[in-house]
Amino acid sequence: MKLTYFPVMAKGLATALLLEHSNLEWESNIVVGDGWSELKGSGKCPFGQVPILETEGGFVVAHAVAIALHVGRTSMVFNGASIKVRTLYGFLFCISLYSF
Ligand SMILES: N[C@@H](CCC(=O)N[C@@H](CS)C(=O)NCC(=O)O)C(=O)O
């Protein structure tokens, strides 16, 4: 999986932390400078914004909360120990703190 975001601690941070906490293989794609206008113009971002998560199947998930839920489901965090479920909810709450 590939998470694309800017080099700032905002919407992409909680999703990156959640991916790191999961058992999934993932890579970070940091967009800087002209890279953003190129990516935005490419139409790859469904809502013209980041973060986006590209899955193995080529599907692109947009919006931080949707990405967190996708990661939670895919990594079976929901089926794990309650501490992991609480951790996922913590990440969701963290995302909600800085707007939608
Ligand atoms: N609802 C989206 C909002 C994403 C968002 O606001 N992304 C900003 C960066 S934090 C962005 O891509 N800004 C660049 C632009 O809109 O051109 C989410 O929750 O992920």
Task: Over range 14-42, report the average pLDDT.
Answer: 93
**pLDDT band at residue 55 using 50, 70 and 90 as cut-offs:** very high
Estimate the crossing angle of helix 11-21 against helix 82-97, to 10 degrees: 170
Could you tell me if 18 and 68 are in contact, meaning their C-beta atoms sit under 8 angstroms apart? yes
Q: Which of 9, 29, 45, 50 to mutate to test the pocket of ligand 1 (most atoms within 8 A of CB)?
A: 50
pLDDT number for residue 82: 55
**Which range (1-15, 18-32, 67-81) has the least confidence?**
67-81
Task: Over range 50-68, report the average pLDDT.
Answer: 92
Instruction: Give yes or no for residue 10 CB within 6 A of ligand 1.
Output: yes
82 phi, psi to nearest 5 deg: -60, -30
Instruction: Map out the domains of the chain with their CATH numbers.
Output: 2-97 (3.40.30.10)
Instruction: Give yes or no for residue 18 CB within 6 A of ligand 1.
Output: no
Element (H, E) at 92: helix 82-97
Cis peptide before 51 (omega within 30 of 0): yes
Q: Does the pLDDT at position 49 exceed 60?
A: yes
Threshold 0.85, pTM exceeds: yes
**What's the whole-number average pLDDT of the chain?**
85
